[in-house]
Amino acid sequence: MIGTENQVSTQTPTPGTDLDAAARRVDTAVERAELLDAPSRRVAMDLKAAVEDFHREGLLRLVRRLKEDPRGKELLFELVDDPVVYALLVMHGIVRADPMTLAQQALNEVRPYLESHGGGVELVAVEPPVARVRLSGACSGCSQSATTLRELVETALITRAGLERVEVVPAEPEQVTIARGSIGVRTQWTKGPAMDEVPDGRVTLWHPPGASATGGPVDPGAIALVRIGEQVSAYRNACAHAGFSLERALVDGEGGVLTCPWHGYKYQALTGECISAADKRLDAHPARVDGGHVWVRLGA
């Protein structure tokens, strides 16, 4: 049984319903589905996925047909300028993500190799056809191995993100914070949990030193660590939709998609780009794996 009458709305769609009201109805239905027992929740989520697949197929046919006709193609370009239409098409994987997302994805593919050789790369900006990156560790300097690692970064961005040129910006000076009343000095890179405490394909909450757990639906002091294989990303634990905790988010390791448990917003799991709304993204912290531990750069 999916739910009782007072758990799941039986309201039928009203013709002409405005978009906000429709979105609120989806939010409410997903919130209610979250209250169901596990088997019922799976049925509800399967139903949601089946409806989305059906819509994707319909949208694909629509887009293909429009592209076949020059007038249709023109109209399609106008439609994609509408943020709602754009978000819908990106959500269904019908239009390509923006250049920043593509560049992040390209770097995420080479990052494990760089890190295994003691190097790191941070994407600073993408202004097609140019990407700007900051290199660290073994990627910087003039040695033969640094040159090889830099070429790897450049090739990834050019071949996988469709960019033409990569510029390296100077490394930031090492930033330090001095705690009031403390004799210690610590860098912004903070040692997080061991990799074997961060399970693959899910979100692990980590509270950095000084952040206390609230244990409630809102816990923005925590860092949400998302691990897919050997790659880990770190985000402030606040969904970009309404700020709720990402602790129980679903992570689809194969598709690389993270789904917020509260109202179903979807994100690229390793970059934090929002698939459901083009103007939103998770608040990311640079993260790396070193010596079997996750390290997260905190602070501004």
Binding site for ligand FES (CB under 6 A): 239, 241-242, 244, 260, 262-265
Q: In which residue are the tokens 């193609």 written?
A: 73
DSSP secondary structure string, 135-200?
Answer: EEETTSSSSHHHHHHHHHHHHHHHHHH--SEEEEEPPPPPPEEE-TT-S-EEESEEEEEEGGGS-T
Q: Which is nearer to ligand FES, 228 or 258 (CB)?
A: 258
Spatial CA neighbour of 103 closest among 127, 137, 136? 127
Q: In which residue are the tokens 């993260």 written?
A: 287
Query: Minimum Å distance from CB 238 to ligand FES?
Result: 8
| Cα diameter, the chain | 70
Query: Minimum Å distance from CB 261 to ligand FES?
Result: 7
Beta-bridged to residue 176, according to DSSP, are 187
Query: Minimum Å distance from CB 264 to ligand FES?
Result: 6
The HSE-up count of residue 277 (CA atoms within 13 Å, CB side) is: 15
Q: Which is nearer to ligand FES, 88 or 289 (CB)?
A: 88
Q: Which is nearer to ligand FES, 235 or 244 (CB)?
A: 244
Q: Which is nearer to ligand FES, 44 or 131 (CB)?
A: 44
CA distance 194 to 202: 15
For residue 225, the one-letter residue type is L
Q: Treating both helix axes as pointing N-terminal to C-terminal, what angle do 83-91 and 70-80 enclose, rounded to 10 degrees? A: 100
Query: Minimum Å distance from CB 267 to ligand FES?
Result: 9
Q: Which is nearer to ligand FES, 206 or 265 (CB)?
A: 265
Q: In which residue are the tokens 């490394």 written?
A: 171
Q: Which is nearer to ligand FES, 191 or 280 (CB)?
A: 280
Question: Token pair of 148, please?
Answer: 């090889």
Query: Minimum Å distance from CB 244 to ligand FES?
Result: 4
Q: Which is nearer to ligand FES, 27 or 290 (CB)?
A: 27
Query: Minimum Å distance from CB 272 to ligand FES?
Result: 13
Beta-bridged to residue 231, according to DSSP, are 228
Query: Minimum Å distance from CB 15 to ligand FES?
Result: 27
Query: Minimum Å distance from CB 299 to ligand FES?
Result: 25
Residue 29 near residue 9 (C-beta atoms within 8 A)? yes
Three-state SS string over 78-113 comes to HHHCCHHHHHHHHHCCCCCCCHHHHHHHHHHHHHHH
Spatial CA neighbour of 125 closest among 104, 109, 111, 145? 104
In the three-class reduction of DSSP (H, G, I as helix; E, B as strand; rest coil), residue 134 is classed as strand
Q: Which is nearer to ligand FES, 41 or 186 (CB)?
A: 41
Question: Token pair of 105, please?
Answer: 């994805």
